[in-house]
Chain A
């Protein structure tokens, strides 16, 4: 364990704390695991600081007992740790955008969760985008929702094959971290749909109606009032 090893591991501790303090953790992982990550960051920084102090005070510390993995030469481990931590400290992680939502090609599909218990939100206008999609998974009959008020927030996605008066309002859903993010969305109809750029964040108020989407009868949001909003600090839904 030399000074470089301590520096490389300490840099990862600093990176975890940076993600926490700058609020970027929300772009990377589910809030349930914030305490675990923050704890790990504090522990890493503390452990490295303390071991550095011990090394400085009493040189000639014992080496580790375990041989560890023999797959990588010793210097690779510290190089990889240090270089990725430096990249992480420089680059700001960005939430996924409409392009990625289209590539995953599942905008109209189901949520992946298999709820053991389902509590629909009673006031329709209080439902978030993912609440709507979950509700549709469980009770898929579009007519059941006709005329209900809606107020949802999300970003604009323009699927290449949708008519000119329609876009999708979408959010990514995360269960663990950004690696398992998948998009959910609702079709929105309004005459000037094309004027809204992809990736613009909007709050849409309106009424639910039914209509044809790719030859199937689906729930469609008829927009009455559209307000551009700032991208939320926490871009994902859970």
Chain B
């Protein structure tokens, strides 16, 4: 009974702290989705692989806030000719390198500033390195899902012939004989709305995202509370204090719980007393990059092989860096 009471208090305290940030996140992301045109940014991005990877990673400061909002944006930008280094840097970096996530991390770890800047620096490093590595593959088409690959601008000869000579799929017919492909309706359709209609879409979109992400947040928080209350203290301490085991445990946990990056710092917080700092950082850096929810979204853009490369590269880099931190700091 006492354990249940403690678990519920923990559970609700995490949720009460996290929900305002989730609400901010979905509002911010919905406003950006409907009022900001990311395509304009593409023209400003550097073409150099390293510069592009860095630019992609910090683009998160200007674009939707957590991984759920970022993957559709990356997909749209890729089909408009975003270089691969930028796209990968963006996918890995943007969920973490943005004001709301940095703020919520600071709220959670006010007394451990190393968590805040460590999260930013390590995420930037991993995102830039992996983005740079991916830039070796100039033509991303073999890595992409066929539908996305087909939508890429034809700048260079394709390895495989495009089967359809004319574009296929579902289209909206507009006035004046113009058409809009269904995939691009997100931003394009909103351009056709009135001001009032567009704001109405912002509110509906924010509430829908809140329902989706709120569900995931509740499941993840329940996992955190259950682990805290049900696992014997000695097991957690034994696992959490080993420099290697703690990092591995947190990498796995980060992949499984799939909490949005705007609020995952609060989840990590509940382990602050019992896990090494490196392990908590591993969770904070790797979780937003690759989690179950993110993978299902990534698979709408990349083929499974490419997702595996991303997963392994980002995971290994995070592991090595946070392990080094545990051992030498």
B13, B14, B17, B210 interface centre (most CB from chain A within 10 Å): B13
Picked from B6, B216, B269, the residue with its CB within 8 Å of the CB of A69 is B216
B23 in contact (CB, < 8 A): yes
- Given the interface pairs A51-B204, A177-B266, the reply to whether A36 lies near B297 with Cβ below 8 Å is no
Decide: B212 and A68 in contact? CB cutoff 8 A.
yes
Q: Which residues of B contact A70 (CB under 8 A)?
A: 293, 296-297
A182 in contact (CB, < 8 A): yes
Decide: A87 and B17 in contact? CB cutoff 8 A.
no
Q: Which residues of B contact A33 (CB under 8 A)?
A: 17, 20, 107
The distance from the CB of A167 to the nearest CB of chain B, in whole angstroms, is 20
B207-225 to A contact mask, C-beta < 8 Å, 1/0: 1111111111011000010
B interface, how many residues as a size bin?
A: 35 or more
State which residues 36-76 of A face B: CB under 8 Å: 36-37, 39-40, 43-44, 47-48, 50-51, 54, 61-72, 74, 76
Interface-located stretch among B53-61, B195-203, B244-252: B195-203
How far is it, in angstroms, between the C-alpha of A215 and the C-alpha of B167 when the chains are bound?
81
A196-216 to B contact mask, C-beta < 8 Å, 1/0: 000000000000000000000
Q: Which residues of B contact A25 (CB under 8 A)?
A: 16
Q: Which residues of B contact A233 (CB under 8 A)?
A: none
B110 in contact (CB, < 8 A): yes
A33, A67, A87, A104 interface centre (most CB from chain B within 10 Å): A67
Q: Which residues of A contact B189 (CB under 8 A)?
A: 65
Decide: B5 and A94 in contact? CB cutoff 8 A.
yes
A interface, how many residues as a size bin?
A: 35 or more
Picked from B9, B12, B13, B201, the residue with its CB within 8 Å of the CB of A65 is B201
- Given the interface pairs A1-B208, A97-B2, the reply to whether A61 lies near B200 with Cβ below 8 Å is yes
Decide: A176 and B266 in contact? CB cutoff 8 A.
yes
A29 in contact (CB, < 8 A): yes
Instruction: Give the residue name and chain of the A residue nearest to B73 (CB).
Output: A66
A192 in contact (CB, < 8 A): no
Q: Which residues of B contact A97 (CB under 8 A)?
A: 2
Instruction: Give the residue name and chain of the B residue nearest to A109 (CB).
Output: B273
Picked from B23, B200, B206, B292, the residue with its CB within 8 Å of the CB of A71 is B292
The distance from the CB of A214 to the nearest CB of chain B, in whole angstroms, is 18
How far is it, in angstroms, between the C-alpha of A9 and the C-alpha of B203 when the chains are bound?
13
The distance from the CB of B8 to the nearest CB of chain A, in whole angstroms, is 6
B19 in contact (CB, < 8 A): yes
A-B contact pairs, 29 of them (CB 8 A): A1-B211, A8-B211, A19-B16, A25-B16, A33-B17, A40-B19, A64-B201, A64-B204, A65-B185, A66-B29, A66-B208, A69-B258, A72-B215, A72-B216, A78-B211, A81-B218, A88-B12, A93-B12, A112-B111, A114-B111, A175-B110, A175-B111, A176-B108, A177-B17, A177-B269, A178-B10, A179-B10, A179-B266, A182-B273
Closest 7 CB pairs of A and B: A77-B215, A178-B13, A64-B208, A40-B20, A68-B212, A179-B270, A28-B13
- Taking A69-B212, A70-B297 as known contacts, 9 extra A-B pairs with beta carbons closer than 8 A to each other, sorted by chain A number, are A16-B19, A28-B16, A40-B23, A51-B207, A68-B209, A71-B216, A78-B211, A94-B9, A175-B110
B contacts, CB < 8 Å to A: 2, 5-6, 8-10, 12-17, 19-20, 23, 29-30, 33-34, 68-69, 72, 107-112, 185-186, 189-190, 197, 200-201, 203-216, 218-219, 224, 228, 233, 258, 266, 269-270, 272-273, 292-293, 296-297
